[in-house]
Amino acid sequence: MTSKSGNQPHTDEAPATLLADTHDQLSQQSIDEQAALWFTRQHSQQMSSQQRQAFKQWVADKDNQQAYQAIAEIWHSCEALPRPTIVPIEKRKSSLWRPFIHTTAALCLVAVLYLPYSHLPALLMDNMTLATSNFPKEMTLADGSKVFLNRNTQVRVSYVQTQRRLWLDKGEAYFKVKPNPYRPFYVHADERLIKVVGTEFEVSRYQNNQISVAVHEGIVEVKATEKSPATYLYAGSQAISQSTDNQFVISSVNADSVASWRFGQLHFFEQPLGDVIT
């Protein structure tokens, strides 16, 4: 197994930068160990901007990218393992609290009835349809993940104990996913599938059956169909599929411009004029 090694003397006289610390730590590990370290950092969602830049440089190497994908595939294969079952234990409450609890529950119910659905408690958004017409909208899902819907967009949500699945019926949506390795996050667009654990990315579905996936932060896995081979996208990359019969074509994008419509900005690249106008 290939390894990249190097022993650098450490002194307390001149503190190294975070980027240098990352490089020194990786230089003493094999490629597989480096891939495992980066995979762990990515899923913690606590990487600094320097570490994200270091990862972008590291993953540009073909051998490193293959090692990272191997780690990701091993991780995803573990999803078939049984999850721990949590059995709630009922605790007998004092009868003195019952009137207070009933009153509080009634007040909460009244409050919910007077709130628009975009402000409902997240637990009520496990299974529902989210839609916009003339204006974008931001919504929070049951697990704390956020969905930003562009205008004229519709997304269906279905959360179960072991999976989080959404269907993009039309339009554009930007997802900021809470990491949960035991509960992967899927986005369906026609038969095409996007799978993540924790990241930020945009999915666009156009009228000509074209699907576009762009990654702002983290990593996502895209497939033309459920049974197709997986392709991995990293921050600053985009995948476009012209139809359900075509595989995704990968290209580079400016990560900061992903879903710029959230901030009132529009960017178009190689898009038909008809799609831009509509």
At residue 104, the pLDDT reads: 52
Q: Residue ranges per domain, the chain?
A: 18-78, 120-277
At residue 111, the pLDDT reads: 40
- Give the β-pairing of 185-189 and 164-176: parallel
Fold for the domain defined by 120-277: Jelly Rolls (2.60.120)
Question: How far is C-alpha 96 from the chain's CA centre?
Answer: 45
Q: Model pTM?
A: 0.56
- pLDDT per position in the chain (278 positions), as tens? 444 444 444 444 444 444 455 555 555 468 877 877 777 776 655 667 787 778 878 888 888 877 877 777 666 555 555 555 555 555 555 555 555 555 555 544 444 334 343 334 444 446 789 999 999 999 999 888 999 999 999 999 999 888 999 999 999 999 999 888 888 999 999 889 999 866 888 899 988 888 999 988 888 999 988 888 888 998 888 999 987 677 889 998 888 878 778 776 454 445 554 554 45
At residue 4, the pLDDT reads: 47
Interhelix angle for 18-27 vs 31-44, to 10°?
A: 140
